[in-house]
């Protein structure tokens, strides 16, 4: 792999772990909200 490729990958990976973990949490909360919205009984 050439130097540009390595620096591109490094650019993506730096700090990616916490960002992806945060994103996973947000997505989990979002879908939990979705199931709350469609599953809870209501008048309409």
Partner 1 sequence: MWDLFFQPFADFGFMRRALMGCFAISIGATPVGVFLMLRRMSLTGDAMAHAILPGAAVGFLVSGLSLGAMTIGGLIAGMAVALLSGFVTRVTALREDASLAAFYLISLALGVLIVSTRGSNVDLMHVLFGTVLALDNAALILLCSIASVSVLTLAVLFRPLVLECADPQFLRSVSGFSAVTHFTFLTLVVLNLVGGFHALGTLMAVGIMILPAAAARFWAVSIGGMIAAAIAVAMLSSLIGLLLSYHYSLPSGPAIILVAGVFYGVSLVAGPVGGLVARGLPRRSLEI
Structure tokens at 22: 């945060």
Least Cβ distance, residue 39 to partner 1 (angstroms): 10
Least Cβ distance, residue 18 to partner 1 (angstroms): 9
Which residues of this chain interact with partner 1, rule CB under 8 A?
A: 4-5, 7-8, 11-12, 14-16, 19-20, 22-23, 26-27, 30-31, 33-34, 36-38, 40-44
CA distance 44 to 28: 26
Length of the chain: 44
Least Cβ distance, residue 44 to partner 1 (angstroms): 5
The sign of the torsion formed by the CA atoms of 30, 36, 39, 43 equals negative
């Amino acid at each position: 792999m050439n130097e540009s490729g390595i620096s591109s990958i490094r650019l993506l990976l730096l700090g990616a772990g916490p960002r992806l973990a945060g994103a996973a949490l947000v997505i989990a909360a979002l879908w939990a909200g979705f199931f709350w919205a469609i599953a809870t009984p209501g008048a309409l």
